[in-house]
A = this chain, B = another copy of it.
């Protein structure tokens, strides 16, 4: 039908319960989070980032990570992951039977300092023992790199900075590298530039792309990424999300939007988009947010 190369399938990591809810100032009951996660797994999500084991002081909304993990109904085959900032967080995560450990750093020095109170080098030093510990516990490790396109403080991010961080993470042999356009500034050509800057270090088929939809460009960037060979994406039910430490960041790429586009292009995700939409609508009602996006 057309001259583009589409993958047969795409793997989506649903990040709504973590990246979506962490930005919510309004309180959400643990039971509502559990219902949300269970609805997402029932909708066919292959992987769900459930919560975060960062200090409740920093992200109070996710202080109930243990309780959420204890109460969710684990669907066989679904991977339940969580964000882990340090060894203390790793201990909590392992005790909560988290399937996959997500660590995080950034390609922008200023963002790293504001987000984690550490330089990029220091954040990599913090990550290293967590990676070792997770590996010892036989948990796969995802490593997020924030601000791979643009930093809310520094502006455009040099591809060489992204590459340096990626090289460090590859040196730690993490299982998955996740590149984030944290503030949703990317246009399709930025995806090309990102891939170009990683040429020889990390192929498009070897990273996860994490897009935000601040400027409504997320799906267009996902389309370009697909054409370049990316087959793994993060998205958030209902487009929930943003970043508490990234001024101006709005919602994540919405899972149902991504699934709609992929499905119409004959690309399988295994996800029931309407069930995702219903799960998101339910959470938004809980939040008292009757307005659609």
A203 on the B face (CB < 8 A): no
A93 to B161, CA, bound (A): 58
- Candidates B189, B196, B216, B263; contact of A213 at CB < 8 Å: B216
User: Which residues of A from 1 to 40 have beta carbons under 8 Å from B?
Assistant: 1-2, 4
Question: In the complex, what residues of B have CB within 8 A of residue A171's CB?
Answer: none
Closest B residue, CB atoms, query A149: B264
11 contacts between A and B (CB under 8 A): A1-B192, A1-B196, A4-B192, A189-B266, A215-B261, A217-B260, A217-B264, A220-B220, A223-B223, A223-B224, A293-B293
Q: How many copies does the complex hold?
A: 2
**With A188-B223, A188-B264, A213-B216 already in contact, 12 other A-B pairs whose C-beta atoms are closer than 8 Å:** A2-B189, A2-B192, A4-B192, A188-B261, A189-B266, A190-B264, A215-B260, A216-B219, A217-B261, A217-B264, A223-B224, A291-B291
Question: In the complex, what residues of B have CB within 8 A of residue A82's CB?
Answer: none
Q: Which residues of A contact B (CB under 8 A)?
A: 1-2, 4, 186-190, 192-193, 196, 213, 215-220, 222-224, 254, 257, 260-261, 263-266, 291, 293
